[in-house]
Chains A and B, each alone.
Chain A
Amino acid sequence: MTHSDPSPPAIELRDVTKRFRTPAGSVHTALRRLNLTVAPGEFCAVVGPTGCGKSTTLSLISGLEPASRGEVLVDGGPVRGISEGIAFVFQNDAVFPWKSVLANVAAGPLFRGVPRREAVEQARDWLRRVGLAGFEDRHPHQLSGGMRKRVALAQSLINRPRILLMDEPFAALDVQTRQIMSDELLRLWELTRPAVVFITHDLEEAIALADKVVVLTAGPGTVKATFEVGLPRPRRAQEIRFDAAFVEMYQRIWESLRDEVELAYARTAAAPPSTAEPEKETL
């Protein structure tokens, strides 16, 4: 946890500002002077109110969007274009609906020039790991929401990323499936141990999963506070919620988050719909 080791952090955002031009022509500032560091293998959860620029942070790290100002470093080097060694699990389904489950998972290695036979073998391997052996020939629409998330996870992790970015990946799932997927994610994370930035609205989910929880302010987003989660691993997301240390942690972070949530809510409730800022940034 200490930064005494000589290897550079997996992710470093220095004084990053991101502005968008809205369709109406005005300028919308999504992030302002944001600083964030994630160590290799560290699991970092980012929480914050709606519209605070959480998703924007991920687009900057992945290289899908350039920063307007400041520096974005991955493995010590500045980000230019899509960075190698990064995986991204999207909020909505981003698996390819016209590809079979197997072809979806094998897509990454195939794009990167791995021979077909080897890619398919790796894909079968990862499907076994996420518990989808036997579903290779199905198409995504034939699977449940939780199963599609497993496909997305296998599709991302097969590239053995050093950094895994997750944008509210389980938000669309029902509560039980979500908890099962949390445990599943921790188990898979242990296999390759990438650095993770996990964005969520759900504070419980954030604490149950992460080493570190970062609270962002209401937009324009910047870091309000950082909390180290000292809970021991391996954890069981379904049971850790009853732990006294968990509850205490939850109260401390909620103290910090509450003002921002209320501020963000007051803004959306007060603003007339025509001038409301677009909540979801485009990629």
Chain B
Amino acid sequence: MTATANPRVSRSPRLRLTRALRGVATPAALLIAPMVLLAFMVFWPLLQQIWISLTDARLTNPGGGSFVGLENFEALMAGTALPQVLANTLAYTLGSTGLALVMGTLAALVVNTRFRGHGFVKGVLASPWAIPPVAAASIWLWMFSESRGIFNRIIEGAGGEPVAWLTSEPWAMVSVILVTAWQFAPLVMLVTLSALKSVPDEVAEASRVDGASAVATFTWVVWPHILPTFRLLGILLVIESLRRWDIIAVMTGGGPVMSTSTIVVAIQRQAFQYQEVGMGAAYAMIGITLAVIFALAYLMVERRAEKRNGR
């Protein structure tokens, strides 16, 4: 028997070090690529954005503005537009997210049952998600037309007065929320449907055998199963709503009287229409802060849920 016959005996400190390094190097190498990507695609532009918000840069020379400190933010705080823009943003974001969650969940519950034409109905309900937002907004623009739109035709047919859907408050905001929720709802439906499929049949069946009503079964059996998915959808739609510009731009342009001017509409107007990129970036920083607040709120809720579930 030689010394080399036993591998444990032959393992030298150098070999152990090599193996240890390999154990660290592999995950590090795997992390480097996404970190580099994040640095170039997210952190660097974000730093640029912060810098531009502290300058008086104009669109004609975005990188050439002079440092003005917090002047852009002070101007925003001193003006009357920011409070209205923030209120509009919250109304639009929470309105469209809430409505989409309700519509999408109801649609998911419907298509989760078996009936004749189930596949066709599911396809129809999912289709708004596939329509480009500008095209969707253009279609709804005609439907909301005060003089010739189908909604006012129906209202007038029923003896009512036509509504200025897109040119009066609060109907303009209601209209853009409706269209945005209509676009988001299919995503909610499809994801919620997957969550519903994960509810064990025997648990739901046991609930029904025990005499629970449909509402009670949903509340005590189904809902806890789909709640994490619902929360995730909520934050995704909030972020998506905060970013949504196209539907508002096509339907109302932010009006009337700024009543549908959300933060992205304000950014576009300031940076591209007025060509004040520095001020536009200041608006963008406020938008990013809003998104971060919503994301943190979501993480807190998730953490509490995990603690409650003992995970």
To the question of whether A and B form a pair in one complex, the answer is no
Binding site for B on A (CB under 8 A): none
